[in-house]
């Protein structure tokens, strides 16, 4: 079950949202990575409806992403709006 992004995909995500591949701790990069993982888990749950451990992991990721989005909203509203627009998230 490979629902998380590969090394190359992670590098691309952090390059696009974090500024560089090495900047893995940036808030925007983390939010983008969580979004990619959430999409993968959602696709998995479409076919495997009874996978409750996967459902729990999905809910935890959504909660973590929400916390980071709240942090970014209070820290820098411009960056927050830019991330929402780039990722296609609705708020």
User: How many angstroms from the chain centroid is the CA of residue 43?
Assistant: 14
Question: What's the pLDDT at 22?
Answer: 86
Mean pLDDT score, 17-38? 91
pLDDT exceeds 70 at position 30: yes
Torsional class of 2: left (φ above 0), alpha (ψ -120 to 50), beta (otherwise): beta
Confidence label for 28 from pLDDT (cuts 50, 70 and 90): very high
Q: Which domains, and CATH codes, for the chain?
A: 7-87 (1.10.287.10)
What pTM value is reported for the model?
0.90
> Would you state the pLDDT for residue 2?
61
Confidence of residue 23 (pLDDT cuts 50, 70, 90): confident
């Amino acid at each position: 079950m490979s629902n998380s992004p590969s090394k190359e995909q992670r590098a691309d995500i952090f390059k696009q949202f974090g500024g560089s591949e090495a900047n893995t701790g940036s808030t925007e990069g983390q939010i983008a990575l969580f979004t990619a993982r959430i999409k993968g888990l959602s696709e998995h749950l479409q076919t495997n409806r009874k996978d409750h451990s996967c459902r729990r992991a999905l809910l935890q990721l959504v909660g973590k992403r929400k916390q980071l989005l709240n942090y970014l909203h209070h820290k820098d509203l411009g960056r927050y709006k830019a991330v929402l627009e780039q990722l296609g998230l609705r708020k």
